[in-house]
Amino acid sequence: MESNGDFFTRAFDVVRRIPGGKVATYGQIARLIGEPKKARYVGFAMHSSPGVAGGVPCHRVVFKDGSLAPGFAFGGADAQCKLLEAEGVTFLSDGRVDMNACAWDGRDPNRMGPPPGFLTAAEFGD
């Protein structure tokens, strides 16, 4: 049985690869680590992360509709919004992230191929 620490570490590893100016969803992170039904646990991981100062840009993880986390652990949704805006993330008039412009495709710009542990079938349904 996997410990929360192992799950959290895998989630943090994926979140570290989200480039500035892009966002990923909780569900996307869950799929990328091979746990497609554990989006809520990704939220728990982000809430307990060391944050940007600890090398985990958890502010780049949002709900699937682009909404920000009301309980963002490092200052609330306003703080999350400011961090994202500073990175060039654009927002719709209703305050949600413009997912068409800012959604991360899951690729690591510094590495060829999918990230370690990437499950093509889980992510793309192949």
Catalytic residue list = 58
Would you say 15 and 57 are in contact if contact means Cβ atoms under 8 Å apart?
yes
How is 22-66 classified by DSSP, letter by letter?
Answer: -BEEHHHHHHHTT-TT-HHHHHHHHHHS-TGGGT--GGGEE-TTS
> CA Rg, the chain, in Å?
14
Distance separating alpha carbons of residues 46 and 4, to the nearest angstrom? 12
